[in-house]
């Protein structure tokens, strides 16, 4: 996994060249290159590899998913959204480059990601490229990631169209699970996997995504700024709807362990050291 | 041209369905459905038609270009950018839906546009779809539209990397001409035109785009709010770099007429009533 992260970091650095007008490319690159776990591109590459597709072939698509993820972080941190001054232990994008550039850097990443898939992918058929970009557009927009963010913001303002339980699941299936789903789905499409295999990984990613969000909610409750590299305790202070606030810490943990158990069960037969490492890492931190 | 505008309005309305979470789709649709000249999709459809491609076939791509245009308007109007409270005579997106939703509505349009091209286009090969989306990503991002916006903002802050003349041309080739170029290029790709024909229309769109920006700068100087549906005189008040502020009103008009003359010259042989109407409209208003 460490090697995969290094490879992804190297490629992100290579793909993101600084040209005129430099300020926008610098803003895009700043948040992109902050050290991270790169879970989404790792899961994309590992899924592709398990199903028979070369790492080289899927690398541009994997990096595109990380760019989409970073785009959502930059815009989420804006003063008009979550108003977070720190991200991955460093000042967030708008604190360094100003709000206007942060909005534009996010916009630019959102279209640079599919541009990268088209320009840098080698060995895919046009039909595969269209499928990959179709997945990207569906999951990145108002039917995916943005739907989750909108309902999240509305629920903070006390506006609930559905029950609290349904709303919370909707938010995190869309806001969090959606990028893990996109990662494994693109990995499966890259490997030309059959529909059944794609659905198996998709189901894994849904459960993993929810577990990851519960993990995140728990960490916000029990960690320090130094451990997470971002503000903590904000959820509680703002009365935000989270798995911990809705179900309590112990029930949230029970939910988390149940989902993790199901994840281990689904992925077991692939004997993946990388997936084991990811699941174990989350499990160990919650303990 | 009136018929084309009605057709585009009808299709935009049809493509943009309001589903849960409704607020985001309403925000996207609000600015999208404000009455406009729809110049970019009209030019896309007319270019395709002149080169032998059915209107039906290119309609989703034409509407996608309008969505990209509207996305750029929504984000440009934000308080952290141009801070404009009105657009097309109505309160701008963030005044109605709040800043967070306006940022997210723009993001969502940016990925909905290529999704639409993939889902609604009929009769294109996968290779054409890839080419169309490639153009879209190149022109929408940091190598196109966003480059123009960034340099525009920086020049307002007094930061000039190049000369004022070069900077002004760079801004408007990217901020304004880029969407007209995208429109005619996609029209040409839809019609499977040869490279020479595509370049001819591209060259037309560059000149038209610059002329259109000079027209816009002149209108900001000489029109009223009622005539334009947006704030006027802001350029002058803010000391903004425009064709009028740099060259003076009379020289700006001379530049405009020269570019328009060249546009007429390039497009003449196609005998297009639609293009004549567009060029005449601009010419008449400047007079």
- pLDDT 10s digits, A80-135: 998 999 888 899 999 999 999 999 999 999 999 999 999 999 999 999 999 999 99
B149 reaches A (C-beta below 8 A): yes
Q: Do B21 and A147 touch (CB under 8 A)?
A: yes
> CB–CB of A100 and B153 under 8 A?
yes
**Residue among B106, B130, B149 whose CB faces A118 most closely:** B130
Domains of chain B: 2-286 (1.10.600.10)
- Write the CA distances from B18 to A58, B23, B113, integer angstroms: 35, 8, 16
Q: Which residues on chain B are in Cβ contact (under 8 Å) with A78?
A: 100, 103
| CB contacts, 8 Å: A111 with chain B | 110, 136-137, 140-141
Say whether A21 and B101 touch across the interface (CB within 8 A).
Answer: no
B91-118 pLDDT tens trace: 999 999 999 999 999 999 999 999 999 9
Q: How confident is the model at residue A17 (pLDDT cuts 50, 70, 90)?
A: very high
Share of chain B above pLDDT 90, in %: 76
Task: Note the pTM of the prediction, 2 decimals.
Answer: 0.94
Query: Residue B199: its pLDDT value, please?
Result: 98
- Asked if B137 lies within 8 A of A28 by C-beta distance, the reply is no
Within an 8 Å CB–CB cutoff, is residue B115 touching chain A? yes
Residues 32-91 on B with a CB inside 8 Å of A are 71, 75, 78, 80-81
- Shortest alpha-carbon distance between residue B101 and chain A (Å): 7
CB contact under 8 A, A130 and B118: yes
Closest by Cβ to A150, choosing from B104, B127, B130 = B104
Residue in chain A lying closest to B83 (CA) = A100
Please tell me the least confidently modeled range out of A188-197, B164-173, B238-247. B238-247
Q: For chain B, what is the HEC assignment? A: CHHHHHHHHHHHHHHCCCCCCHHHHHHHHHHHCCCCCCHHHHHHHHHHHHCCCCHHHHHHHHHHHHHHHHHHHHHHCCCCCCCCCEECCEECHHHHHCHHHHHHHHHHHHHHHHHHHHHHCCCCCHHHHHHHHHHHHHHHCCCCHHHHHHHHHHHHCCCCCCCHHHHHHHHHHHHHHHHHHHHHHHHHHHCCCCHHHHHHHHHHHHHHHHHHHHHHHHHHHHCCHHHHCCCCCHHHHCCCCCHHHHHCHHHHHHHHHHHHHHHHHHHHHHCCHHHHHHHHHHHHHHC
B59 band by pLDDT with thresholds 50, 70 and 90: very high
Q: Is A6 exposed, middle or buried (0-12, 13-18, 19+ CB in 10 A)?
A: exposed
Kindly state the average pLDDT of the residues A230-238. Answer: 68
The reply to whether residue B107 touches residue A106, judged by beta carbons under 8 angstroms, is yes
ipTM of this complex > 0.85?
yes
Q: Is B153 on the interface with A (CB under 8 A)?
A: yes
- Residue of B81, B118, B141 with shortest CB distance to A108: B141
Does B266 reach chain A within 8 Å, measured CB to CB? no
pLDDT tens across B174-222, in order?
Answer: 999 999 999 999 999 999 999 999 999 999 999 999 999 999 888 888 8
Determine the distance in angstroms separating the CA of A28 from the nearest CA of chain B, rounded to an integer.
9
């Amino acid at each position: 996994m460490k090697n995969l992260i290094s490879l992804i970091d190297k490629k992100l650095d290579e793909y993101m060249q600084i040209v005129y007008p430099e300020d926008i490319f610098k803003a895009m690159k700043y948040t992109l290159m902050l050290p991270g776990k790169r879970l989404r591109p790792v899961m994309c590459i590992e899924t592709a590899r398990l199903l028979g597709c070369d790492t080289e072939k899927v690398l541009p698509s994997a990096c595109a998913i990380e760019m989409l993820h970073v785009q959502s972080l930059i815009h989420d941190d804006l003063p008009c959204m979550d108003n977070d001054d720190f991200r991955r232990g460093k000042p967030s994008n708008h604190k360094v480059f100003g709000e206007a550039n942060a909005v534009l850097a996010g916009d630019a990443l959102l279209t640079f990601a599919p541009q990268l898939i088209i320009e840098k992918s080698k060995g895919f058929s046009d039909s595969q490229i269209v499928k990959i970009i179709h997945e990207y557009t569906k999951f990145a927009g108002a039917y995916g990631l943005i739907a989750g963010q909108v309902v999240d913001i509305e629920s903070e303002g006390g506006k609930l169209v559905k029950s609290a339980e349904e709303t919370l699941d909707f938010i995190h299936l869309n806001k969090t699970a959606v990028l893990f789903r996109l990662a494994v789905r693109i990995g499966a499409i890259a490997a030309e996997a059959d529909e059944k295999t794609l659905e198996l990984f998709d189901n894994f990613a849904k459960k993993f995504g929810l577990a990851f969000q519960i993990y995140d909610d728990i960490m916000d409750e029990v960690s320090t700024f130094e451990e997470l590299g971002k503000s903590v305790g904000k959820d509680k202070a703002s009365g935000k709807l989270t798995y911990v606030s809705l179900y309590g810490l112990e029930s949230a943990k029970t939910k988390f362990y149940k989902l993790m158990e199901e994840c281990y069960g689904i992925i077991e037969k692939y004997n993946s050291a990388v997936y084991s490492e990811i699941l174990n890492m989350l499990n160990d931190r919650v303990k």
